[in-house]
Amino acid sequence: MTSIVLLCTDGSDVSIDALRTALPLLAPADRTILVTVESSVDADTTTGNGFRSQASAPDLADQIETSGDYRAKQILDATVAALDLDDMELMAIVGRPGRAICELATALPATVVVVGTSGRGGLRRAMMGSTSDHIIRHAPCPVLVQGVGQH
């Protein structure tokens, strides 16, 4: 069975710290994918387009420029640099973050999803929703969640 680790980032310190904490806990995977979700919707991306590439692929910049998703490239580049990662796939997808990550985890199929949480609680989370809560409830595989103050 192929092992696939799905590392989720929004570029925040919380998500980068979550990945930094989780990576040593994970066994080496056959595929490791760093993903970010672009939640804005425009006519060119509503068909599910995005980009997907190996981090070392020479045409990565061209693919990202073609997709028009510069913010996603910045998020992925910052995460790769902060964690000193190499030899992994980079992916940007479009949609509602929790749902899009769960759909991707199902399609791959992922062995584990790693995600950070802002540590919101109570009423604020109930009113605003929580990406990590959605992933925990709907992912087809185990989810490793790391949050603020949980080191």
pLDDT tens string 93-146: 999 999 999 999 999 999 999 998 865 555 555 544 588 889 999 999 999 988
For the segment 33-72, what is each residue's pLDDT rounded down to a tens digit? 999 998 755 444 444 445 444 444 445 444 444 454 788 9
pLDDT in the model for residue 119:
59
pLDDT recorded at residue 146: 81
DSSP structure class, residue 66: H
What is the Cα–Cα distance from 78 to 72, expressed in whole angstroms? 10
pLDDT at 14: 85
Average pLDDT on 4-26 reads 92
Domain boundaries in the chain? 4-147
The predicted structure's pLDDT at residue 56: 44
**CATH superfamily placement of domain 4-147:** HUPs (3.40.50.620)
Q: pTM surpassing 0.85?
A: no
The C-alpha atoms of residue 123 and residue 72 are separated, in whole angstroms, by: 30
